[in-house]
Amino acid sequence: MLEELNIRNYALIDEVSVHFKPGFNVLSGETGTGKSILIDALSLALGAKGRGESIREGAQEAEVTATIRVSSSPELSLWVEKYGIEPEDGALLIRRTLKRNGRGSASVQAVPVTRSALAELSDALVDIHGQHEHQSLFKVAVHRKLLDRFAGIEERVQNFNVLFSRLSDMGKQLEELDRED
């Protein structure tokens, strides 16, 4: 669950800190009040591609940090195993900076990570829904993931995928050995 979002020098925002409550949170307001900027900043922190023009006029770099309270899930466990970065006190601190020259950096728990690692993490932690995003419900992979979550079999599915991948690799190795003979 997203607990806090801190934004500095991003788009029109000088500096802002937004705290979220447990449960369902909604951003609403008149056109032009900055809702999309908040979502874009959160997306940046979660691995979206950054653009130099998103940096506030007069600033050299933008920074977005997100504190996310995490609970155990198969996806998060796989990410932690892959990158070796553990939550601290049940939370992850994600930081992303973007420089005017197009360079930037990303970290989780102060450990540098790639943008793709952040995107993997965000898939395990956060769902952002906006205009037209309901269209993801037309994707078969989304159906499968929702059904697996509802049935409580995510861990079994993950274990199956790991075993299937190993089996496929062994099959390829066997084919190579047959070709060598």
- Across-strand partners of 7? 16, 64
Count of domains observed in the chain? 2
SS3 state of residue 117: helix
Q: Are residues 123 and 135 in the same domain?
A: no
Distance of CA 86 to the CA centre of its chain: 15
Q: Are residues 55 and 143 in the same domain?
A: no
The band of 124, judged by pLDDT with boundaries at 50, 70 and 90, is confident
Please give the structure tokens belonging to residue 57.
């006029």
User: Which of 93, 108, 128 is the C-terminal boundary of a domain?
Assistant: 128
SS3 state of residue 109: coil
Q: Are residues 90 and 155 in the same domain?
A: no
The model carries a pTM of: 0.68
Q: Are residues 98 and 148 in the same domain?
A: no
Q: Are residues 55 and 34 in the same domain?
A: yes
Q: Are residues 113 and 140 in the same domain?
A: no
- Across-strand partners of 16? 7
| Separation of alpha carbons 62 and 12, rounded Å | 11
The model's pLDDT over 46-81, given as tens digits with 9 standing for 90+, comes to 888 888 788 999 999 999 999 988 877 777 888 888
Range of the domain at 10: 2-128
Q: Domain of 120: which CATH number?
A: 3.40.50.300
